[in-house]
């Protein structure tokens, strides 16, 4: 494979965007990415769009054609990529493979979800299609319920506390205050989390990521072409993807996501780095326990110590390994198909030194970690400053 770089990124506001359509969201993110990259749309050779469930959220399938059409990019090949909440990260991976193979020189990786145009029950049902319908959903399991099982087991095995999980939410909301695109730009306290309404105990309302509208876009190019187009290319140093059983009862552990462990191993190996080399990370914190397990599975700390290092401030901006400087899924929002691309937008901005008040000093290597469902799919990307 030839080297691949990110040359432009674009992000919409995340939130309950009642007055913006699916198509408008995608066009806004794409236009911002093209402007950011300084290219002409005619230079784009292909497009990969991450989207989980537009058929249920907006009653529209075949969005690859819609996006290409409204972006004025017909007749380039446009492909929808679906992997539940990992759809965006997988779309980016397909774009990396495309450019790396030499098939196209410039490729768009995008992600979008419009989730708030339906009632909450419909949205919950759509999200539940990423779990095992026969063995989990049929008997009443929901995603909060599945992650609550993981949380209970983690608490039992390692002594993780509800206050430590709450510390994840507090940190990520604080970071979101400095992100103008974030859904929740407000600080909360551990006490706020502890007193918030129960969803599926031990998870409470403020332990859970929200339902969100939003779109994100990244433009990739061969490293050779990137150096001619921008002074601030961000190289894709490594990428890894892995799968696991979709249902929890078939997993070897309830306190780790094996797909994350394997995807990270592949990404680290390809990038030629170790976990200690990572300067910051965007991880999949769909629930607070998910971030705790992620930083353990990514080997930023020992197994069972994720809650402890969070509580001690090691994952805060200015800490040993800043995690979710964007606000994460918890504070920034979680438009499921767009999340994996939005994570990379944050890493790119950090590596360029463009993250403002949430900037990590001296950031040179960043990691993005995107999970589908309760862990049936995981994708990890390692990005490096191109200069």
Mean pLDDT of the chain: 97
| pLDDT value, residue 178 | 98
Q: Are 104 and 355 in contact (CB under 8 A)?
A: no
Digit-coded pLDDT (tens) for 374-383: 999 999 999 9
Two domains, one topology: 4-119+212-234 and 131-209+236-385: yes
| pLDDT value, residue 387 | 73
| pLDDT value, residue 149 | 98
Contacts of residue 60, Cβ cutoff 8 Å, sequence gap at least 6: 22, 54, 66
| pLDDT value, residue 4 | 98
Residue 90 has pLDDT above 80, yes or no: yes
Digit-coded pLDDT (tens) for 22-39: 999 999 999 999 999 999
| pLDDT value, residue 191 | 98
Reading the block at residue 54, the tokens are 């537009």
The pTM of the full predicted model, rounded to 2 decimals, is 0.98
Q: Is the peptide bond before 75 cis (omega within 30 degrees of 0)?
A: yes
Cβ-based burial of 72 (10 A; exposed 0-12, middle 13-18, buried ≥19) = exposed
Which CATH code of 3.90.550.10, 3.40.50.1100, 3.30.450.20, 3.40.47.10 fits the domain covering 4-119+212-234? 3.40.47.10
Digit-coded pLDDT (tens) for 220-253: 999 999 999 998 999 999 999 999 999 999 999 9
Strand intervals (E) in the chain: 4-11, 46-50, 78-81, 106-113, 198-200, 203-204, 214-222, 234-243, 280-282, 365-372, 377-385
Q: Are 158 and 307 in contact (CB under 8 A)?
A: yes
Residue boundaries of the structural domains of the chain: 4-119+212-234, 131-209+236-385
State which fold the 131-209+236-385 domain adopts. Answer: Peroxisomal Thiolase; Chain A, domain 1 (3.40.47)
Digit-coded pLDDT (tens) for 104-130: 999 999 999 999 999 988 999 999 999
Digit-coded pLDDT (tens) for 46-70: 999 999 999 999 999 999 999 999 9
Residues with active-site annotation = 85, 334
Q: How far apart are CA 23 and CA 91, in angstroms?
A: 18
User: In the structure, what pLDDT confidence band is assigned to residue 79 with cuts at 50, 70 and 90?
Assistant: very high
Residue 254 phi/psi, 5-degree rounding, is -100, -5
| pLDDT value, residue 316 | 98
Instruction: State the distance between the two ends of the chain, measured CA to CA, in whole angstroms.
Output: 20
User: In the structure, what pLDDT confidence band is assigned to residue 370 with cuts at 50, 70 and 90?
Assistant: very high
Question: How does DSSP classify residue 46?
Answer: E
| pLDDT value, residue 61 | 97
User: In the structure, what pLDDT confidence band is assigned to residue 196 with cuts at 50, 70 and 90?
Assistant: very high
365-372: strand order across its sheet: 78-81, 46-50, 106-113, 214-222, 4-11, 234-243, 377-385, 365-372, 280-282
- Residue at token pair 């990415």: 33
In 298-365, alpha helices (H): 306-311, 328-331, 339-352
Q: What is the mean pLDDT of residues 320-329?
A: 98
Q: Please give the distance of CA 245 from its chain centroid, rounded to a whole number.
A: 20
Digit-coded pLDDT (tens) for 279-315: 999 999 999 999 999 999 999 999 999 999 999 999 9
Distances (CA, A) of 346 to 202, 319, 362: 30, 18, 15
């Amino acid at each position: 494979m030839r080297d691949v770089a990110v040359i432009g990124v674009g992000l919409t506001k995340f939130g309950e965007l009642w007055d913006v359509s699916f198509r408008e969201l995608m066009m806004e993110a794409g236009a911002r990415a093209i402007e950011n990259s300084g290219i002409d749309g005619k230079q784009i050779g292909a497009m990969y769009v991450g989207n989980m469930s537009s058929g249920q959220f907006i009653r529209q399938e075949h969005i690859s054609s819609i996006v290409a059409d409204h972006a004025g990019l017909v007749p380039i090949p446009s492909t929808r990529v679906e992997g539940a909440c990992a759809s965006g990260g997988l779309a980016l991976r397909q774009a990396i493979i495309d450019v790396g193979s030499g098939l196209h020189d410039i490729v768009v990786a995008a992600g979008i979800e419009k989730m708030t145009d339906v009632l909450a029950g419909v949205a919950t049902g759509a999200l539940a299609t990423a779990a095992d319908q026969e063995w989990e959903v049929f008997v009443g399991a929901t995603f909060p319920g599945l992650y609550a099982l993981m949380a209970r087991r983690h608490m039992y095995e390692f002594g993780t506390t509800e206050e430590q999980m709450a510390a994840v939410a507090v940190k990520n909301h604080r970071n979101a205050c400095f992100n103008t695109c974030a859904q929740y730009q407000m600080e909360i306290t551990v006490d706020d989390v502890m007193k918030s309404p129960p969803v599926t105990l031990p998870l409470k309302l403020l332990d859970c990521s929200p339902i969100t509208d939003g779109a994100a876009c990244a433009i990739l190019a061969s490293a050779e072409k990137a150096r001619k187009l921008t002074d601030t290319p961000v190289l894709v140093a490594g990428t890894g993807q892995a799968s696991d059983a979709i249902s929890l009862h078939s997993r070897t552990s309830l306190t780790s996501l094996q797909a994350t462990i394997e995807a990270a191993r592949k990404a680290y190996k390809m990038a030629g780095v170790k976990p200690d080399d990572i300067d910051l990370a965007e991880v999949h914190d769909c629930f607070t326990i998910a971030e705790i397990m992620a930083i353990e599975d990514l080997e930023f700390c020992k197994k069972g110590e994720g809650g402890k290092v969070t509580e001690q401030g090691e994952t805060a901006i200015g800490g040993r390994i800043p995690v979710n400087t964007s606000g994460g899924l918890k504070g920034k929002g979680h438009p499921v198909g767009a999340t994996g691309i939005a994570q990379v937008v944050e890493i790119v901005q950090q590596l360029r030194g463009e993250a403002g008040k949430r900037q990590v000093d001296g950031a040179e290597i960043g990691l993005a970690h995107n999970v589908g469902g309760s862990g049936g799919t995981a994708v990890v990307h390692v990005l490096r400053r191109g200069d």
